[in-house]
Amino acid sequence: MNDTPSAPPAAGPATAIDAKSLPMPEGIRTVGSVTTADPLFSCRSVDVFYGQKQAIKNLNIDIGRKQVLAMIGPSGCGKSTFLRCLNRMNDTIVGARVEGQIHLDGRDIHDRKQDVVQLRARVGMVFQKPNPFPKSIYENVAYGPRIHGLAGDRAELDDIVSTSLRRAGLWDEVKDRLQQPGTSLSGGQQQRLCIARTIAVNPEVILMDEPCSALDPIATARIEDLIDELRQSYAICIVTHSMQQAARVSQRTAYFHLGELIEVGETDRIFTNPRAKLTEDYITGRFG
Amino acid sequence: MAIEGHTSRAYDGELSSLHVQVVEMGGLLLLQVREAANAYTEWDPGLARRVVERERLLNGYHRDVDARSLALIARRQPVASDLRAVVALSRVVAELERAGDEARKIAQAVLGRAGGSASRPGFATARDARHLARLAVNMVRLSLDALDRLDGPLAREVIALDRELDEEYASGLRRLMTRAMEDVRVFGGAMEAAFVLKSLERIGDHARNVARLMLSLGRDAAGAPPGEGQPAADASPR
């Protein structure tokens, strides 16, 4: 990764601010520390509406570099909606409206000058179901760097592909069949291919929406191991329904309930001594 | 704190049955402590023998609760208050088992230790032992009540009672040593009596530890790590 060209900066002189963490509004109901050292994302008073329905209510959180933030909560609590706010995937949903401030490294991601394609290169995403393109393994990884102009020539592109596949822990398994279709791989391999495809464009953040829910325990363990390695370089936000997975992979955990961020804190504390009763009831399986 | 209330009723059942088993073990320990003290103060070798024989039941409870706690951790992966409860119950049985060891030592003082003969306490020593035993038994009983009812305030009471037992032990020991110095012929018996008083004091310590473990089940018992400040007043646990 280090030998690949770095991603170009976000388009235009978007509204940069001095502090990376935005000022905190009054009357926050979230329990725990919503701020973190060295924040990359800073979100304040975020509301999300799908038509009339409010999916996220007054959400405030900072997301730190080189750490894994796990978002947990019952279905429909807004955790995936929030994840999709971070790379403006909600823009693609008709009737979806995002209010409030979301700053990435001091710049407003909703700024008019913000190029959404560039934003999504900086904030990559891995989905629940592995979704490789119907192309070769090589092309799956090479596609992003090519459209973003990250490689000057074929040798450089080869280098990005092999580095990304190595970082995704897939190289040894696919190095002799790079021209075979990505869909010929097993589910776990396909998911790692999608992770390789994401990191090939040199992102700063990787969003993961239930990345292991379609995988067996061994493939899950490999992805979790990979997440732990990737956090040395990236900020990772993972939505998961598996509390054990959140406990295993993350340094911070955020608990959502009915569109509100109820509690956020160090994962060790959340899983041994949550402060909010709603969090305690959910993680101990007392949720009615 | 509550042990029950999970969506999975089977999980509720497993946790409460572990709790009940620990409380049962506590009941057996209370009997052991009471009878061991009686056997010493009333000099009843038959009773002492029964205490020594029953000790293996206490050890059996310890093994059983440990095995069930491990199985529960492996199968249910408890977190938060449930995890603290399982760990605390596991430690409580270790405390109860050690208190049981002390009760056995008292009973063995009546039966005579290996290679030595038993020496019956004199009137004054028996009176001191009876007094200490009353305090220790009371502490064990209250700590078990606190454990049974998950009663935090009662657990705090038990912790406070330990100071009284410690003071009574210190003065009982002082009186015993004075008597031993006045008449060296009773020195051997006084040594035995000192061990018995010490065992009663240790039983009180174990009861206090059970009470402390009880308190660790409560919310925020482990304390919040630095840098995780509680924000607004309305952010209290909902």
ipTM of the complex, rounded to two decimals: 0.72
In which element (H, E) is residue A79 found? helix A79-85
User: Does B236 have pLDDT greater than 70?
Assistant: no
What three-state secondary structure class fits A1? coil
Q: Lowest mean pLDDT: which of A130-134, B15-19, B189-193?
A: B189-193
The answer to whether the beta carbons of residues B161 and B106 sit under 8 Å apart is: no
Instruction: Tell me the mean pLDDT in the region A142-162.
Output: 93
pLDDT in tens, B89-113: 999 999 999 999 999 999 999 998 6
Would you call A265 an interface residue with chain B, using a CB distance cutoff of 8 Å?
Answer: yes
- 8 Å CB contact of B225 and A288: no
Q: What are the structural domains of chain B?
A: 9-220 (1.20.58.220)
Quickly state the pLDDT bin for B157 (edges 50, 70, 90).
very high
Q: How confident is the model at residue B174 (pLDDT cuts 50, 70, 90)?
A: very high
Tell me the nearest-neighbour CA distance from B69 into chain A, angstroms: 16
Question: Would you state the pLDDT for residue B233?
Answer: 37
pLDDT above 90 (res A252): yes
Question: 11-30 in B: which are within 8 Å (CB) of A?
Answer: 11
Distance CA B116, CA B199 (A): 19
**Predicted pLDDT of residue A4:** 40
Average pLDDT over all residues of chain A: 90
DSSP states along chain B? --S---S-HHHHHHHHHHHHHHHHHHHHHHHHHHHHHHHHHTT-HHHHHHHHHHHHHHHHHHHHHHHHHHHHHHHH---HHHHHHHHHHHHHHHHHHHHHHHHHHHHHHHH--TTS------HHHHHHHHHHHHHHHHHHHHHHHHHHHT-HHHHHHHHHHHHHHHHHHHHHHHHHHHHHHH-GGGHHHHHHHHHHHHHHHHHHHHHHHHHHHHHTTSTTTT-PPTT-----GGGS--
In sequence order, which residues have a C-beta less than 8 Å from that of residue B112 and are 6 or more positions away?
Answer: B118
pLDDT at A230: 92
CB contact under 8 A, B230 and A31: yes
Q: Is A271 on the interface with B (CB under 8 A)?
A: yes
Closest residue, chain B, to A285 (C-alpha): B6
Q: Is A280 on the interface with B (CB under 8 A)?
A: yes
Closest CA to A29 of A252, A262, A256: A262
User: How is chain A split into domains, by residue range?
Assistant: 31-283
Query: Mean pLDDT throughout B9-36?
Result: 95
Q: Which fold has domain A31-283?
A: Rossmann fold (3.40.50)
pLDDT of B129 reads 94
pTM across the whole model: 0.80
The confidence band for B48, taking pLDDT boundaries of 50, 70 and 90, is very high
Each residue's pLDDT tens digit, B114-147: 555 678 888 899 999 999 999 999 999 999 999 9
Strand blocks (E) in chain A: 31-32, 39-50, 53-64, 68-72, 96-104, 107-108, 123-126, 205-209, 235-239, 252-257, 260-266
User: Please, are residues A188 and A219 in contact by the beta-carbon 8 Å criterion?
Assistant: yes
pLDDT in tens, B176-232: 999 888 887 777 788 889 999 999 999 999 999 999 999 988 654 344 333 333 333
Q: Is B77 on the interface with A (CB under 8 A)?
A: yes
pLDDT on residue B112: 83
Three-state SS for A85?
Answer: helix
